[in-house]
Structure 1
Amino acid sequence: MRDREDIRMCTAIVFTGKKGEAFFGRTMDFSYPLHPQLFAVSAGYQWKGSLGQKMSSEIGFLAIGQEFENLRILVDGVNEKGVAGAALYFAGYADFEKTAPKDGKKTIRGSLDVLPDILGNCSCLEEVEDRARKLAIVGAADPVTGMVAPLHWMFTDRTGRSLVMEKTVWGLDLYENPVGVLANSPDFPWQLTNLRNYTGVTSTQKEEAEWDFLKLVPFGQGAGTFSLPGGYTSPARFVRTVFLKTHVKIPDSRQKIVPECFHIMESVSIPKGTVMTARGTADYTQYTAFMDLQSGDYYVKTYDNYQLLKVRMCEHLPKDGTYQKLGDLEIPMEYASM
C-alpha cells in the first residue's frame, strides 16, 4: 500500500426538496489528473469486472468514470429506477478480501465493481441492502494509483433515504444515514458522534455578552457559525456539509434546487494549492456532480468550467444492451457577452 499522501478527499450528499424531490451529488477531490468521462450503460449490457468475472446490468444507468484499456472505473452514477451512489476513499479503515472466497455462497465482486453492480441491478434501497449483504468484496487495484482502492459507498433512492456501506476488518456494515452526508475516514459512526461537538453552532445571530463589566459585541452577522471547522479534513467537511444542508432555505421548485445543491458543496470544494500532498501535487476538486433521482438527469461542473453541463438520461441511455461513452467532462468554458 502506498503512503497516505494518495488519499482521495471527497464529499457526498442527498438533498430533498419541499415536495420530496431527491437529488444526490458529490465532489471528486484527487491529486492525480482524472480526466472524467460520462458513460451510459443500457439494461442487458455485459462486461468483465476488475477481477475478470462476468458482470451484467438489468437496469440502465449513467455514471462518471474513466477507461483504462479494457477496464472501466465508475465512481458515481444514477440508474433509471432512481437509485444513485458514489464511491469515496476510506483510507486506513477499508479492508477487503485478499482472494475470492471459494464457498460459492456469495457473489464475488472487486472493490472497484461494487458501484456498477449495485446501479445495474437494484431498483430501490431495500434491494441495495439485500444485494450488498450477498457480496464478497475483493480488493482490486486502482489503475490510477496502482494500489487497492480503500473505498466505502453511499447509496440513495427517490425516497431520499440513504445508506452507507463500509467493509472493514470487522466485516460488512450497512448504516442508515440520518444526515444524508458522507465524507472519508474515520468510519461513519464516528462522524455522526463527532457532530455532538458542534451543538452550539447556529444560523441565528449571537447577541452581545457580558463578562463581569466587559461587554463583548459580535463582529457582524454569522457569529453563530464561529465554531464551525474551516479546514478540508474529512471530519471538517462532514460537519460543514451537514450544517449547511440542514440550515439552508429549501427551494420551492426543482429548478432552484440544483443551484442550491452546488452552493452547499462550494463550502467543501478545494482550490488548487490549498491542499498539497507529500509528492508536491495539489489535491483539489476536479468536478462536482448532482443527479436528479426522478429524471436521472446529471448536472456537472468541472474545476476549470463553472458552467453546468446537463445530461438527460432519457436522451442518452442506449436500449440495445450496449454502453456508450458520452464524452469528456472537461469542456472549455465559454464567456457570455453583454
Structure 2
Amino acid sequence: MKKSILGVLALSVFVAPAFACTGISLKAKDGSIIFARTIEDSQNDLYSEYVVIPRGQKLFSFTPTGEKGLEFTAKYGVLGLSVVQKEFIAEGINEAGLESGLFFFPRYGSYQAYSSDSRKSSIGDLQLNQWMLTQFATVDEVKEGLKNVRVVGLEPNSVVHYRIGDASGRQVVLEFIDGKAHFHENTVGVITNAPSFDWHLTNLNNYINLQPGNADEQKLSKQPLHALGHNSGMLGLPGDATP
C-alpha cells in the first residue's frame, strides 16, 4: 500500500485555497448535454493524465491508513482525467453516458469517520468518481449504490463535492455534510465550490435583475434613459464588463 500513502501525501500539497473549479453544462441542438469545467490551481502541477478503464478491470480503494478498502470490478468502460495519480479521476464519463466530476468543497463538508472494521465497504473520497463511473449508468443507480458504502476522506483537507449527470440530461450535486450524503437536483447546470449547493441556489436571488445583453431603454418621468455601453444587462455582477 506504499503507493496509496504516497498519493495521499502528495495530494496534501495540492489541496490549497488556490485550488478552485467551475463546472458548466451546455445543451446541443440535438438535445445532448455537454459537460465542461475549469481547474484553477495557480501554485502546483496536478500531474493530470488521461485514464482509460476497460470493462472487467479489477480495482480497489485506498484508505487513510493504507489498508485495502472496497474492492470492485468495472461494469462499464470509463474515460477520465486524473489529478495527482490515475486513481483520482477529477472528471470522467462512462460508456452508458454517466458523467461525474469532483470540485473542491473546503470547510463545509465532512465524511464518515474511517474504521478498519468497515474497510471492505469503504471508498476514498477521491476515488468515488472511479467507483461510480465503473459501476452505474444513471443518477438513480448512484443514489441507491451509495447506501451500501462508506465514503471516507483520504486526507483531512481534501473535502470535495460532486457533479453527477446521466444520459437523460438529469444532473445532481452530491455533498457529504456531517457524514451524511445530500443530493441536490441541479436544474441550473452549474457548480462551483463552497458553501453548499443550496446556498448558491438561494444566492441567485440576489441577481434577479441580470439579463444577457443590454438593458432595455427606460424613462424617468420624461427623461429617456439608455445604456452607456455594451453588456449593461450584467451591471452589478462582480467583475461585470460594463464601461
Q: TM-score, normalised by structure 2?
A: 0.81
Rounded to whole Å, the distance in 2 between the matches of 1:177 and 1:101 is 35
Count of aligned residue pairs for this structure pair: 222
Aligned to 2:87: 72
Amino acid at match of 1:162: Q
Q: Which moved more, 1:7-16 or 1:94-103?
A: 94-103
Q: TM-score, normalised by structure 1?
A: 0.60
Rounded to whole Å, the distance in 2 between the matches of 1:196 and 1:133 is 33
Q: Gaps spanning 5+ residues in structure 2: where?
A: 1-11
Rounded to whole Å, the distance in 1 between the matches of 2:36 and 2:146 is 21
Deviation at 1:82, TM superposition (A): 0.5
> In 1, are the aligned partners of 2:61 and 2:122 still within 8 Å (CA)?
no
Aligned to 2:239: 230
Superimposed CA distance per residue, residues 32-81 of structure 1 (whole angstroms, 9 cap, x where no aligned partner): 2113110110011113322222333111100101454xx73211100011
Amino acid at match of 2:22: T
Deviation at 1:114, TM superposition (A): 0.7
1:44 aligns with 2:56: yes
Aligned to 1:100: 115
Aligned to 1:8: 19
Aligned to 1:179: 188
Aligned to 1:87: 102
1:160 aligns with 2:169: yes
More RCO (CA 8 Å, sep 6+): 1
Give the alignment partner of residue 197 of structure 1, picking from 180, 193, 206: 206
Aligned to 2:72: 55
Deviation at 1:107, TM superposition (A): 3.1
Deviation at 1:101, TM superposition (A): 7.3
1:139 aligns with 2:153: yes
Rounded to whole Å, the distance in 2 between the matches of 1:134 and 1:192 is 29
**3-state secondary structure, aligned to 1:155:** strand
Deviation at 1:222, TM superposition (A): 1.8
Rounded to whole Å, the distance in 1 between the matches of 2:235 and 2:92 is 35
Aligned to 1:249: none
**3-state secondary structure, aligned to 2:135:** coil
Deviation at 1:102, TM superposition (A): 4.0
Rounded to whole Å, the distance in 2 between the matches of 1:119 and 1:206 is 43
Rounded to whole Å, the distance in 1 between the matches of 2:186 and 2:238 is 21
Aligned to 1:241: none
Deviation at 1:177, TM superposition (A): 0.9
Rounded to whole Å, the distance in 1 between the matches of 2:114 and 2:179 is 17
CA-atom RMSD, angstroms?
2.5
Percentage of pairs with the same residue: 24
